[in-house]
Amino acid sequence: MAEQREMKEKNPWHRPVIICITVFIAMGVITLVAMAVVQNKPLHQKYKYGIVLDAGSSHTSVYIYEWPAEKENNTGMVRQTHACNVKGKGISSYAWNISYAGMSLRECMEEAKEKIPVWRHPETPVYLGATAGMRLLRMFNAAVSDQVLSSVERFLQTYPFLYQGARIISGQEEGAYGWITVNYLNGNFRKALTTMGALDLGGASTQITFVSKQEVESEENSMLFRLYGNDYHVYTHSFLCYGKDQALKLALAKQLQTGESQLRDPCFHPGYIEQKSLASSPCVPETRPHDSERTFTHTGTGNASLCQEVVKRIFNFTHCPWGRCSFNGVFQPPVEGQFGAFSAFYFVMNFLNLTSDSLEQSKLKMDHYCSTPWAEIKQRYPSVKQKYLAEYCFSGTYILTLLENGYNFTSENWKDIQFIKKIGDSDAGWTLGYMLNLTNMIPAEAPDEPPLPHGGYVAIMVLFSLFIFILFLLAYKLFGRPVCNANKQII
Ligand SMILES: Nc1ccn([C@@H]2O[C@H](COP(=O)(O)OP(=O)(O)O)[C@@H](O)[C@H]2O)c(=O)n1
Ligand SMILES: [Ca+2]
């Protein structure tokens, strides 16, 4: 008996009190670890949404963005989940049919209602930004452009979303927000990397925006952004009337200056022949008094080098009141760094298969493409609308001329231009940058990061708990009896 008692005293595991303590410690450690895991586990992802309508000169697109609700201020979290192209033309084309401007957006807005969870509708902001088509309409007739905006405003207010306004954005904003979009999507702000420039080609205007180490001589082209703790001195310019559709009008008007009613145009394919009229617009002032609309026979001759000469004539390269200019007396520092070229830059260059060619190769391909007979082109692309198909020779030549002679890109830095449509899921364009800015989603200063990532925190908690547990066991083995035992002895 005495031996048995001695055994029991030597082997503390047989004592119920010790077992009870061990179980409690083990439960304590498990609870600690479980609490750490549950407490720090990312919450069930709840998304917030934002809607931006890009009311361009040629058409309107509705973009839906989403981001994790609890990470609103972490840059890099917003992505495009849906895009809808409004059927028909841009809102500026409703100038003489105003009440339908708002209604034209119906299908896409209904889609937005379906895509966004109903309980998020009241807090989902909706922004409409109109670009060059509406800028031109405002110049032509400010009252009518106001009425078109009111029509879309009234319509958007009938939806259960948080309506935040419909306005014409400036060319400067359009350039700057496009630049913010591409650099946000590439993660350049978050990682404080060198930024990339942005080139946007629309139907009625075009924008160039980049960070320049050289002084920006003209105040109107200079913007300063403080994003995520860094300052960015940005050069930007928007050329109204130099979107590809208005540039074509400028080129036609230049060629029609001679007053003839027959136009033999090197920018259209041989065999192309159409009766056309050219209405005067803010971009194309009347060439002859009392001549608001000119009719002419448009015939193609298909010669890319001659087309380039025609295109050059719509730029003024001689007048420059600054140290250096792009064209039309506009200051521009030399282009530097990588550029993302999107919107019609991408659509046209992608159609012509020029997105990865050198400048020289692109010119050779354009020579071949423009000289291809119209009948052959129509046969090769039966599904492309003929109005658009006919214009690719002009548009391609215009893009090469704008980039080389206008912005002064060279054969050497041509490879620095990337023709892009999307970055990840999101379209390159001004809309995302616009929303990020209006919702204050890019902080000026870098937010404090937690010292440890979630996984690291949990791992340390587990290791630390095990370490305490083992220490406790060791201590017991080495130094003897727990307090429980002492109590038992007193009893
Ligand atoms: N799939 C597409 C979509 C648009 N586009 C062209 O891209 C341009 C978009 O311009 P936009 O409507 O945004 O006009 P802005 O208001 O930006 O000047 C138009 O010239 C369209 O014809 C294209 O070439 N291919
Ligand atoms: Ca546009």
What digits encode the pLDDT tens for the residues 76-116? 799 999 999 999 999 999 999 999 999 999 999 999 999 99
Q: Tell me the ligand closest to 384's alpha carbon.
A: 1
Six-digit token string for 228: 């995520």
- Whole-number pLDDT of residue 454: 66
Q: How confident is the model at residue 456 (pLDDT cuts 50, 70, 90)?
A: confident
Of ligand 1's listed atoms, the one at least distance from the Cα of 205 is 18
Per the prediction, the chain carries an average pLDDT of 90
Distance from residue 266's CA to the centre of ligand 1 (Å): 23
> For residue 343, which atom of ligand 1 is closest to its CA?
7
Q: Is 92 annotated as a binding residue?
A: no
Q: Which tens digit of pLDDT belongs to each residue from 182-214?
A: 999 999 998 999 999 999 999 999 999 999 999
Of all residues in the chain, what percent carry a pLDDT higher than 90? 76
**Nearest atom, ligand 1, residue 204 CA:** 18
Nearest atom (ligand 1) to Cα of 132: 16
Residue 205 CA to ligand 1 center (angstroms) comes to: 10
What whole-number distance in Å separates Cα of residue 209 and Cα of residue 236?
A: 4
Ligand 2: distance of its center to the CA of 404 in Å? 21
Class of domain 43-168: alpha beta
Q: How far apart are alpha carbons 194 and 338 in whole angstroms?
A: 9
What is the 200 CA–ligand 1 centroid distance (Å)? 10
Closest alpha carbon to 193 in 183, 179, 182: 183
- 9, 66, 70, 174: the active-site residue: 174
| 20 pLDDT tier (thresholds 50, 70, 90) | low
Residue nearest to atom 5 of ligand 1 (CA): 344
Q: Would the annotation count 203 as a binding residue?
A: yes
pLDDT band at residue 25 using 50, 70 and 90 as cut-offs = low
Q: Which residues line ligand 1 (CB under 6 A)?
A: 56-59, 90, 131-133, 202-205, 243-245, 343-344, 347-348
Indicate if 111 belongs to the active site: no
Nearest atom within ligand 1 for CA of residue 245: 20
Average pLDDT over residues 48-57: 98
Task: Of 95, 164, 168, give the one whose Cα is nearest residue 131.
Answer: 168
Say if residues 432 and 52 touch (Cβ distance below 8 Å).
yes
**Ligand at shortest distance from the CA of 352:** 1
63, 54 contact by CB (below 8 A): yes
Percent of the chain at pLDDT > 70 equals 86
Ligand 1 center–CA 92 separation, angstroms: 14
The C-alpha atoms of residue 48 and residue 288 are separated, in whole angstroms, by 55
| Residue 4 in this model has a pLDDT that exceeds 60 | no
Residue of 239, 347, 399, 402 with the most ligand 1 atoms within 8 Å of its CB, for mutation: 347
What's the distance, Cα to Cα, between the start and end of the chain in Å?
Answer: 21
> What is the average per-residue pLDDT within 406-431?
98
User: Can you give the pLDDT at residue 486?
Assistant: 44
Closest atom of ligand 1 relative to the 344 alpha carbon = 7
The CA 344 to ligand 1 mean position distance, Å, reads: 5
How much is the pLDDT for 491? 36
For atom 4 of ligand 1, the residue with the nearest CA is 344
Q: What per-residue confidence (pLDDT) applies to 93?
A: 97
Q: Are the folds of 43-168 and 171-436 the same?
A: yes
Residue 151: name the closest of 86, 97, 87 by CA.
97
Give residue 104 CA to ligand 2 midpoint distance, Å.
Answer: 18
Ligand closest to CA 431: 2
171-436: which CATH number, 3.30.1360.120, 3.30.420.150, 3.40.190.290, 3.40.30.10? Answer: 3.30.420.150
User: Ligand 1: which of 58, 181, 209 to mutate, most ligand atoms within 8 Å of CB?
Assistant: 58
| Greatest distance between any 2 Cα atoms in the chain | 128
> Which residue out of 134, 343, 352, 354 has the highest number of ligand 1 atoms within 8 Å of its CB and is therefore the one to mutate?
343
Domain ranges for the chain: 2-41+451-490, 43-168, 171-436
The answer on pLDDT for 490 being more than 70 is no
pLDDT digits (tens, 9 = 90+) for 435-453: 999 999 998 988 776 666 6
Check the annotation: does 465 bind a ligand. no
Ligand 1: residue whose CA is nearest its atom 9: 202
